Amino acid sequence: MIAIPSSCRAALRVGLIASLAILTACVGDQQSGARDPEVAANPAAFGMFDCGPDGMIMLEGGRSAVTLIETDGSSYNLPASPPTQTHRFGGEGTALVVENGEALWMKSGKQPMTCRR
């Protein structure tokens, strides 16, 4: 059996721990792309949607609420409606349904817009 001095063993342990920490950080960055657990749970409510001649909408958020941003910069915070829903969101005079790569965006006084991913 080969005897390793205690100072070398300590250096090996520190090196091994540092290597594992770096490896863990690299692997963690490659998973799902979404760091927010709510976004990972409901990727349908995240991303850009093309609304044709009406422009684009961007959705950010997750299971309990989304933020919708229109091309002109208007922003709406929409809670899940009802609270247990993961595809329907709404606020005062607004509603959003996100399913199968489509987002139906409705605002009072405006024509509903069907937007596609």
Domain ranges of the chain: 1-31, 37-116
Cβ 61 vs Cβ 70: under 8 Å: no
pLDDT of residue 59: 93
Per-residue pLDDT of 37-83, as tens digits, reads 444 445 556 799 999 998 999 999 877 899 999 999 999 999 998 98
Cβ 91 vs Cβ 79: under 8 Å: yes
Q: Helix (H, G, I), strand (E, B), or coil: what is residue 5? A: coil
Counting residues of the chain whose pLDDT is more than 90, the rounded percentage is 44
pLDDT at position 20 over 60:
no
Query: Furthest-apart CA pair in the chain: how many Å?
Result: 83
Per-residue pLDDT of 2-13, as tens digits, reads 666 666 555 444
Q: Please give the backbone phi and psi of residue 4, each rounded to the nearest 5 degrees, phi first.
A: -110, 125
Q: Give, in order, the Cα–Cα distances in Å from 112 to each of 22, 34, 97.
A: 49, 29, 11
pLDDT of residue 43: 54
pLDDT at position 102 over 90:
yes
Assign domain 37-116 to a CATH class: mainly beta
User: Taking the complete model, does pTM exceed 0.85, yes or no?
Assistant: no
